[in-house]
Amino acid sequence: MPNNKHDQIRLATYNIHRCIGADGRALPERILAVLEEMNPDVIALQELEQHPDPALNLLDYFAHRTGLTAVAGPTILNPESRYGNALLTALPVRATRRIDLTVPGREPRGALDMDLDWHGRKLHLIATHLGLNPAERRRQIRLLLNLIEKEDADLTVLMGDLNEWFLWGRTLRWLNHEFPVSQRRRTFPASWPLFALDRIWVYPSSALASLSVHDSRLARIASDHLPLTAVLEMAD
C-alpha cells in the first residue's frame, strides 16, 4: 500500500469518529476503504476505539490490511475499550513518546511524539487531538511547542485535529510564528466542509509539496471529518 518514492512521502491526518458515518452506523470497513484510497506512508488517526478482544482490535486490523506499522496512543483506557490517538506508518520508528496533554476537569487528551526514519533522515512528527475549550487548547499548544526542536531534525511535522474554530485564535497565531507558512483546508463537517479543524504543519515549509483534502464520495460518509493529506519532498 505505501508509496515507495525515495524523495517523497504522503502524510495524512484523519479523525475517524469511532468509525461512525453519516448514516449513524459504525463500519470500520468504510474507514479502511478511505485509507486505501489515500495510500499514505504515514497517517495519524483520532477518535480510534479499540477493544481488548483481538477480533475487535481496529488498529491491528487497519495495520494488517494496509501493511503499515501501528503505534497506539490511547487517552482513555478502561476494561472495555481504549480510545484516542494512533499512527500507522511505513517509515521505520526510531522513538515513540506518549505525551499527556490532559487539562484537569476536561476530557483526557494526548499526543504521539515520534522520530521516524526517512531514508536516513530524521522526521520528527507530533500527532495530536486537542481539546474543545480555547483555554485548554492554549495550554496544550504551549506544551507541544516545547517539544519542537527544529535543529535536531531534518523535518518537523505537527498534525492532527486541532479543534480550533477561530481563524485568528491565539493557538493558530502561535503556530503561525513557529511554522511560517500555514495553509488551511476545510475538513469539517465531512458532508459540507466549513471549518479547517484538521491541520498539517511542516518545517521547513519548502518540504511541503502539496496539501489537500481527500474529498471522495466515500470519505463524505465514512466519518464526520474529511482526511487531510500532504505530500512532502526533501532535496538530497
Query: What are the structural domains, with CATH classification, of the chain?
Result: 8-233 (3.60.10.10)
Residues of the chain short of pLDDT 50, as ranges, are 4
pLDDT score at 106:
97
Q: Residues with Cβ < 8 Å from 114, sequence gap 6 or more? A: 71, 87, 93, 94, 95, 96, 97, 124, 125, 126, 127
pLDDT score at 4:
47
Rounded to two decimals, what is the model's pTM? 0.94
Strands 155-161 and 121-129, how do they pair?
parallel
